[in-house]
Amino acid sequence: MAETVSGESKAEVKVYDSDEELAVALAKYTADLSEKFCKERDVFTVVVSGGSLIKSLRKLVEPPYIDSIDWSKWHVFWVDERVVPKDHPDSNYLLAYDGFLSKIPIPAGNVHAINDALSAEAAADDYETCLRHLVKSKILDISEESGFPKFDVMLLGMGPDGHVASLFPGHPLVHEKAKWVTFIKDSPKPPPNRITFTFPVINSSANIALAIVGAGKADVVHKSLGDDKSSDLLPVQMVSPEGELVWFLDKDAASKL
C-alpha cells in the first residue's frame, strides 16, 4: 500500500512497502500516461535513465501492460548515456535493451540511442541535433514557457550522492543554461565520458518520476526532502519540472523521512 507524504511542495512522494509494489505502481503510472498522451498527441515521448530504474520498470513489460500499451506510439530517449559501444556492459542503452526494449514491440526507428562511434562532445551535439529534428517533425513538443524540448515523461533514478542523469553534486554542468545536451569527461562515477540532458531540458518535462529503492539512498532522500536547504542543493533537489513530479520510494529508501 502506498503512503503519500507530500508536504507543501508541488512534488508528490509515494512510499511503498516493497520494491515489488513500487514496480507495480510505476508500471501503472507509466501506462496511464502512455494512454493519455497517445490519445492527445498520437505519440508518447519517454526518457529513461540507466541504473536501478530499469529494474524498477520490470512490471511494464509483463501482462497486462505488455499487451495493452500501444508501443508503436512510443519514442524512447536516454537522459544520460555513457560514451561506450552499445554492447559494452556500462552502456545505458544495453541495460535498457536487455531489461525492457527487447521485450516490447517498439519500432526500431523510435529508439533514439546516441551515436556510439563519436567522442563525448560530438555525441552530445549529435543527440541535440536528433532532438531538434524530432521537434521539427512534431514528435517532440517544445515548452512554451522555456523554449526547451518538453518530453511527456522522464523516468529517472538517483545515485546515492544525489546525482540525476550525469549531473553530479558540485559539478559545473548542473548550471548549464543554454545547451539541450552536454557532455562530461570527468564523471566522478565511472565511466568518465558521458553525455547528459541539461536541467533546462529535464525541468521542461510534462512529468517526471523519480524511482528510488534501497536503504543506501535513505540519507540522501532525507536530505532532499527535508527542510534543511542551508547547503548547496543536490542535483536531485534541482529537479523541478513544469509539470508533475512524483517520487516513488520503497520503505527502505524512505526509512529516514
3 state DSSP class of 185: coil
CA distance 10 to 226: 14
Which among 18-26, 45-53, 65-73, 233-241 is the span making contact with ligand LXAUTJHC, rule CB under 6 A?
Answer: 45-53
E strand or H helix at 75: strand 74-78
Q: How many residues bind ligand LXAUTJHC (CB under 6 A)?
A: 11
Q: Quick check: 235 binds ligand LXAUTJHC (CB under 6 A)?
A: no
CA distance 86 to 95: 9
Q: Quick check: 49 binds ligand LXAUTJHC (CB under 6 A)?
A: yes
CA distance 173 to 11: 24
Q: Quick check: 193 binds ligand LXAUTJHC (CB under 6 A)?
A: no
* Choice between 179 and 189, CB closer to ligand LXAUTJHC: 189
70 to 89, contacts with ligand LXAUTJHC by CB under 6 A? 80
CA distance 194 to 60: 27
* Choice between 50 and 149, CB closer to ligand LXAUTJHC: 50
φ, ψ for residue 149 (rounded to 5)?
-60, 145
Where do contacts with ligand LXAUTJHC occur on this chain (CB under 6 A)?
49-53, 80, 92, 157, 159, 166, 189
